[in-house]
Amino acid sequence: MTTLIIDRRGHVPLPASAPPPMVDPFGRSITYLRVSVTDRCDFRCTYCMAEQMTFLPRKELLTLEELERLCSAFVARGVRKLRLTGGEPLMRRNVMMLVRALGAHVHAGRLEELTLTTNGSQLSRFATELADCGVRRINVSLDTLKPDLFRTITRRGDLGPVLEGIQAAQAAGIRIKINAVALKGINDQEIPEMLRWAHGEGMDLTLIETMPLGETGEDRTEHYMPLSEMRARLAERFTLIEDTHRTGGPARYLRVAETGGRLGLITPMTHNFCESCNRVRLTCTGTLYMCLGQEDAADLRAVLRATPDDAALHAAIDAAILRKPKGHDFIIDRTQRPSVARHMSVTGG
């Protein structure tokens, strides 16, 4: 297998002259980078993608070496948590070369956490190697435990390999958190069962409100469910206790007394989390989005390829961070098209 060249960039202790940490115009420190390594996915979830997707030409994607250089530049600027996303990140050819290179930052203490979000379909193949690279926690997107409904939501996926992948990751010592999009009239009645299952298997469960990103061929308003409503339903069955636990992301947590597990809520629509946003997103083409819900972006690929000198790259990052907005403009309304035209798979889930 091809070996990713590990050079001086990011794989030795940072020099005393390392560039300063990133702080946006609103005083928020940027310490969390989400990187979409591919826009491709083997599923076509109804709330995420159109059934017939046109993916980016492979020639437009950054190489794994370029992605590693960009990620290392952000680590040098104070990023302490790095999440690999997609599409489905484990579909990127030779992606483990990138994971291993980034894992060097974890082993050296420069990065607190390297993790990923996956649909779980390929997880059984890579679980042991991910653990070896320093991945200690993974989010698995899973919206139902019913095989037929799973195929309906994903339009083509099989539930069995996903459950096998979860088991393989746990066997490798990786903690799993289940992410489920709450869909009114589809899986909302199943959420209590999923909560009991996840907590019974030693996993947290986080619920997410559907977001208006990209045309999917579905009417989001028909199945949109505010999590305030779901929380009220769950409170009729469970004792929900406020929890101060944080993972660095947007979820706010509750402790479920009956199960002992945590329930996370990500509520971009009903109660946004913009005031504490510490995140930026990098796409597989080198486009940096300072906000998931805004179109403004910076082209880092051009700078990356123009010179091997990282000084220009850091200057471009600085200019981008100074444009980070205060918050997003998400809205779900039958009278409006998606708030943002690009699909979630382009930016990274």
User: Quick one: residue 109, left, alpha or beta (phi over 0 = left, psi -120 to 50 = alpha)?
Assistant: left
User: Residue 91: is its pLDDT beyond 80?
Assistant: yes
DSSP secondary structure code for residue 158 in this structure: -
H/E element, 84: strand 81-85
User: Quick one: residue 59, left, alpha or beta (phi over 0 = left, psi -120 to 50 = alpha)?
Assistant: alpha
H/E element, 279: strand 279-282
Which of 19-23, 246-250, 316-320, 321-325 is predicted least confidently? 246-250
Output the known binding site: 34, 41, 45, 47-48, 83, 87, 117, 141, 177, 211, 274, 277, 279-281, 291
- Report the C-alpha gap between 313 and 283 in whole angstroms: 16
Tokens of 303: 């700078």
Which of 59-73, 228-242, 252-266, 281-295 is predicted least confidently? 281-295
Tokens of 32: 């969390």
Cβ contacts of 176 within 8 Å, gap of 6 or more: 137, 138, 139, 140, 166, 169, 170, 201, 203
pLDDT in tens, 30-52: 999 999 999 999 999 988 888 88
- Under 8 Å between Cβ of 199 and 156: no
In this structure, the dihedral spanned by the alpha carbons of residues 125, 161, 342 and 211, taken in order and rounded to 10 degrees, is -130
Output the known binding site for S-adenosyl-L-methionine: 47, 87, 141, 211
**Res 214: pLDDT:** 47
Half-sphere exposure of 169 (CA within 13 A, CB side): 33
**Coil, strand, or helix at residue 229?**
helix
- Under 8 Å between Cβ of 248 and 113: yes
Output the known binding site for GTP: 34, 83, 117, 177, 279-281
Confidence of residue 329 (pLDDT cuts 50, 70, 90): low
**Res 52: pLDDT:** 85
**Res 27: pLDDT:** 95
H/E element, 317: helix 310-321
Output the known binding site for [4Fe-4S] cluster: 41, 45, 48, 274, 277, 291
User: Residue 337: is its pLDDT beyond 70?
Assistant: no
Tokens of 208: 């997410």
For 32-347, which CATH class? alpha beta
pLDDT in tens, 229-242: 999 999 999 999 99
- Under 8 Å between Cβ of 103 and 131: no
Domain residue spans of the chain: 32-347
Tokens of 228: 């305030």
In this structure, the dihedral spanned by the alpha carbons of residues 187, 192, 198 and 200, taken in order and rounded to 10 degrees, is -150
Higher pLDDT, 249 or 208: 208
